[in-house]
Amino acid sequence: MSTQSRRGGRPGKPYRRPRKDPVRILAFEALRAVDERDAYANLVLPPLLRKAREKDPAQGGLDARDAALATELVYGTLRRQGTYDAIIAECVDRPLREVDPPVLDVLSLGAHQLLGTRIPQHAAVSATVELARVVLGDGRAKFVNAVLRRITADDLDGWLERVAPPYDEDPEEHLALWHAHPRWVVSALWDALGGGREEITALLAADNERPEVTLVARPGRATTEELTGTGADAVPGRWSPYAVRMTEGGEPGALDAVREGRAGVQDEGSQLVALALADAPLEGADSRWLDMCAGPGGKAALLGALAARRGAALLAAEKQPHRARLVARALEGNPGPWSVVSADGTRPVWRPGSFDRVLVDVPCTGLGALRRRPEARWRRRPEDLAGFAPLQRGLLREAVAAARAGGVVAYVTCSPHLAETRAVVDDVLRGLEREPQGPAAELVDARPLLPGVPGLGDGPDVQLWPHLHGTDAMYLALLRRTA
Ligand SMILES: C[S@@+](CC[C@H](N)C(=O)[O-])C[C@H]1O[C@@H](n2cnc3c(N)ncnc32)[C@H](O)[C@@H]1O
């Protein structure tokens, strides 16, 4: 080991190779992929972890605890990105946009360890500086070291007192920084939720919790007893008779029923909206069901199983051919008749007025599933709403047209944003009133179709919430075609 500094040849600190910490390096790689390639953390991380777990820990592989730490570092850093950016901005003497993205990723990872975990301060700083030496080089590691030392001046609450305005001065900005959501998302969620500070705070906090894994035992193919029999941490769902919650996380892929497609991973909110459509009262025939936006097929698989019990056939449509293939895979082994077609729901290939039950689970901003995708809240823009608006209206209009007179339509979004929920339903109903030759429809009270579920508001539509129901913020409006 040299005792000379490498630059000037003057005696200095001996050069030491940086310590390679596989957990932090993997977390950094995941953050880079999310940042650079717009990747999703929940898709990028599992293969990285799998590869690292296959390696011997002596050769830089990860054991289960390391993998859990890497997951927490990636998810936590991404989830609180906006808040950490605001704090880092206070500790850097230039605008954040002038800091190289890989440097900012290392700083955010360090900020999360310092402010959002129980990792001791000295360990958080030294591990992050070592990471910076490995992935950025010694020069930039010094900068990282200096910024992190400034961050250690306070804990998270102390920093938030400094960077966030008081609640009374600017409630939305205050909540946005304290609960790590973009301001426009706070505003939209609050509009949809109503209520005061307590309600919105509970919702924002629930968005920052990692959701439990929930399974569905597809009726007629698996039973909840089969799934709860797999371990003490598998307990019945709260609302859906087909749901099982894995309270400790667990590995669904290890279960026979999941591997065989008889059960699947599915949020209880998704189960509830499919069940509500299946249970909606209907006069006359009940033999043809349509799922108009079926990919990747979670709701189609549940609807298919329910339809089979009633002797009904399911047609599942999906615009993207590769997603249509996923739907076909999800429906494989379904006990009743089903078919999948790759088709644009706004240019139907089916006969209008021919279905008894129609599900239209439209593409949306996904603001109701922020718990699952830690980076999604920072990536979405208010402009995205305008992009989805005509498609959502077009699909709902065609869903009504696909239903027979007396048939029911479930309009579903995984977003509580009013522009994607009530505004779409109201606009389509108003538009249909102006079409003398077009199909007519009316809203049906959906609440009785979610028996036992509290807090469903004034109806007739239903909005589920993570903090109230433990589900994604799924929206459901039920319509009946009247003519
Ligand atoms: C919210 S996802 C549906 C989720 C699905 N129901 C499930 O439970 O697995 C919306 C789907 O609609 C598809 N889609 C988008 N535009 C469409 C269109 N014009 N016609 C049919 N499907 C469309 C998307 O590709 C996406 O797979």
pLDDT > 80? residue 46: yes
First to last CA, the chain: 86
Give the residue among 88, 90, 142 at the shortest CA–CA distance from 110: 88
- Predicted pLDDT at 275: 98
In the chain, the amino acid numbered 201 is T
- CA 229, distance to chain mean position in Å, is 28
On whether both 168 and 79 belong to a single domain, the answer is: no
Structural domain contains residue 26? yes
Quote the CA–CA distance of 198 and 108 in Å, as a whole number.
Answer: 29
Ligand 1 centroid – CA 408 distance (Å) = 19
On whether both 26 and 113 belong to a single domain, the answer is: yes
pLDDT > 80? residue 11: no
Q: Are 269 and 470 in contact (CB under 8 A)?
A: no
Structural domain contains residue 382? yes
Ligand 1 centroid – CA 317 distance (Å) = 8
What phi-psi label fits residue 295: left (phi over 0), alpha (psi between -120 and 50 degrees) or beta? beta
| Other Cβ atoms closer than 10 A to 275 | 23
Q: What is the CATH number of the domain that holds 139?
A: 1.10.940.10
- Predicted pLDDT at 249: 74
pLDDT > 80? residue 465: yes
On whether both 326 and 358 belong to a single domain, the answer is: yes
Give CA angle at 37 (33, 38), nearest 5°.
95
On whether both 143 and 188 belong to a single domain, the answer is: no
In Å, how far are 77, 230, 454, 457 from 447, measured between CA atoms?
38, 33, 9, 9
Q: What is the CATH number of the domain that holds 221?
A: 3.30.70
Structural domain contains residue 141? yes
Atom of ligand 1 nearest to the CA of 274: 8
Structural domain contains residue 2? no
Q: Are 376 and 273 in contact (CB under 8 A)?
A: no
pLDDT > 60? residue 8: no
Ligand 1 atom 13, closest CA: 293
Ligand 1 atom 6, closest CA: 294
Structural domain contains residue 8? no
Structural domain contains residue 6? no
Q: Are 361 and 412 in contact (CB under 8 A)?
A: yes
More confident residue, 151 or 64: 151
Q: Are 70 and 49 in contact (CB under 8 A)?
A: yes
Q: Which of 267, 272, 289, 293 to mutate to test the pocket of ligand 1 (most atoms within 8 A of CB)?
A: 293
Atom of ligand 1 nearest to the CA of 363: 10
On whether both 347 and 306 belong to a single domain, the answer is: yes
Helix axis angle for 41-54 and 22-37, nearest 10°, is 150
Q: How far is it between the farthest Cα atoms of the chain?
A: 92
pLDDT class of 58 with cuts at 50, 70, 90: confident
Q: Which of 240, 318, 475 to mutate to test the pocket of ligand 1 (most atoms within 8 A of CB)?
A: 318
Quote the CA–CA distance of 330 and 165 in Å, as a whole number.
Answer: 48
On whether both 298 and 415 belong to a single domain, the answer is: yes
Q: What is the CATH number of the domain that holds 305?
A: 3.40.50.150
Q: Which residues line ligand 1 (CB under 6 A)?
A: 270, 292-299, 317-320, 323, 344-346, 361, 363, 414
Ligand 1 centroid – CA 294 distance (Å) = 5
Structure tokens at 328: 């076909």
Give CA angle at 23 (59, 210), nearest 5°.
140
On whether both 168 and 134 belong to a single domain, the answer is: no
DSSP calls for 432-446 = HHT-TTS--EEEE--
Does 414 qualify as catalytic in the annotation?
yes
On whether both 331 and 202 belong to a single domain, the answer is: no
- Predicted pLDDT at 4: 43
Of 23, 414, 428, 446, which residue is the catalytic one? 414
Atom of ligand 1 nearest to the CA of 394: 19
Ligand 1 centroid – CA 20 distance (Å) = 43
Atom of ligand 1 nearest to the CA of 317: 21
- Per the annotation, where are the binding residues? 293-299, 318, 344, 361
Give the residue among 183, 182, 191, 186 at the shortest CA–CA distance from 204: 186
Please tell me the total count of domains within the chain.
4
Ligand 1 centroid – CA 298 distance (Å) = 11
- Per the annotation, where are the binding residues for S-adenosyl-L-methionine? 293-299, 318, 344, 361
On whether both 342 and 235 belong to a single domain, the answer is: no
Specify the 3-state DSSP secondary structure of 382: coil
Structure tokens at 224: 């909840």
Q: Are 336 and 325 in contact (CB under 8 A)?
A: no
Q: What is the mean pLDDT of the chain?
A: 94
The H or E element that residue 422 is part of is helix 422-433
Quick one: average pLDDT of 218-239? 90
Structural domain contains residue 104? yes
Q: What share of the chain is helix, strand, coil (3-state, %, to 5)?
A: 50, 15, 35
Rg (CA), the chain: 25
Paired strand residues for 409 = 358, 479
pLDDT > 70? residue 175: yes
Ligand 1 atom 10, closest CA: 363
- Predicted pLDDT at 60: 79
Ligand 1 atom 12, closest CA: 293
On whether both 474 and 368 belong to a single domain, the answer is: yes
398-424 residue pLDDT tens: 999 999 999 999 999 999 999 999 999
371-390 residue pLDDT tens: 999 999 999 999 999 999 99
Ligand 1 atom 17, closest CA: 319
- Of all residues in the chain, the percent with pLDDT exceeding 90 is 89
Ligand 1 centroid – CA 237 distance (Å) = 26
Quote the CA–CA distance of 372 and 52 in Å, as a whole number.
Answer: 23
- Predicted pLDDT at 3: 40
What phi-psi label fits residue 333: left (phi over 0), alpha (psi between -120 and 50 degrees) or beta? left
On whether both 260 and 273 belong to a single domain, the answer is: no
Ligand 1 centroid – CA 208 distance (Å) = 26
Structure tokens at 350: 């089916």
Name the pTM for this structure. Answer: 0.94
Q: Are 474 and 412 in contact (CB under 8 A)?
A: yes
Place of tokens 């994607």: 420
- CA 183, distance to chain mean position in Å, is 18
229-270 residue pLDDT tens: 877 689 999 999 999 999 887 788 889 999 999 999 999 999
Atom of ligand 1 nearest to the CA of 327: 9
- Predicted pLDDT at 289: 98
Atom of ligand 1 nearest to the CA of 291: 6
| Residue 331 domain boundaries | 268-481
pLDDT class of 10 with cuts at 50, 70, 90: low
Q: Which of 319, 358, 474 to mutate to test the pocket of ligand 1 (most atoms within 8 A of CB)?
A: 319
pLDDT > 70? residue 9: no
On whether both 50 and 188 belong to a single domain, the answer is: no
Q: Are 61 and 55 in contact (CB under 8 A)?
A: yes
- Predicted pLDDT at 139: 95
Structural domain contains residue 327? yes
